Amino acid sequence: MLVIVAPGQGAQTPGFLTPWLELPGMAERLTGWSEVAGLDLVHYGTDADADEIKDTAVAQPLLVAAGLVTAHALLPEEDAARELVGAVAGHSVGEITAAALAGVLSATDALTFVRERGRAMAAAAAVTETGMIAVLGGDPEEVAAKLAAHGLTAANNNGGGQIVAAGTLEQLEALRADPPAKAKLVALKVAGAFHTEHMAPGVTRLAELAPTLAVADPAVAYVSNKDGEVVRSGAQVLSRLVAQVSNPVRWDLCMETIGQLGATCVIELSPGGTLTGLIKRNVKGVATLALKTPADLEKAKALVAEHAGEENAA
């Protein structure tokens, strides 16, 4: 069974979309979506520097557009694609990409949603200086205790002993000075404490937007960040996307479900690499491929031919 996954914020790098624009129609597609996203997606995917694309209001629409455009390059016929793909999942903002791939939202509505999500989260992040640090390794109970002691939230559980702590910069500095034993701390290139109470204003904005969007039930299994459950109601998917902004990402549970569904291959959309790395370590016996450039398409299409349609989990 083939599973398509979409990465979250922090996966973007300067110029990562440049080679994709060499494919026919890609520049035109991104240019059209730029009007909906309210920013020049071609510029931000090619010429913008690291600081420009770190901006939450830029990074989030850019990542969703990148996921959708590379999915189109891999599986150009949407209806046929949904017959081939058994399940979809995304990490954080990648869940919006997954919702569009599953047919819950149109590309236009997905980009409208992520535009407002990025703006609202950027505004919320500007209220208080916050950030995120990956805590790699260490005893899980000690890690949880240290985060609690410093008032931090476990915003992401990425499996394999990788927890992302989120909070104020002061709280994060306190963690650096008093880390869990045998744990490595890595600062993330994000502009706020996402998936925490600091993002509550973003939830309010998206709750206002949600009723204006057209929603359909997923055409393939949609694996949710909230709890790793397969969600079969489009309305429920949208409700979870709204609430997700201020709630933890349980990618560890998503990976458990991907394994339980019988996945034999996982392909990660551009800018791929982060999620396939986690899946390799946590879901054994599954073929993986990260779509980084069009040079990866030939191998990806071979994997689609080999694994698609073996068992549709929807």
Residues classed as catalytic: 92, 195
End-to-end CA distance of the chain: 11
| Residue with token string 């990542």 | 63
Question: Cα–Cα distance between 125 and 168 in angstroms, integer?
Answer: 10
Is residue 3 classed as helix, strand or coil in its secondary structure? strand
Cα angle at 267 between 265 and 271, to 5 degrees? 160
Tokens of 144: 């949880």
Contact 268, 71 (CB under 8 A): no
Closest CA to 244 of 267, 255, 233, 228: 228
Contact 266, 5 (CB under 8 A): yes
Question: Cα–Cα distance between 300 and 168 in angstroms, integer?
Answer: 41
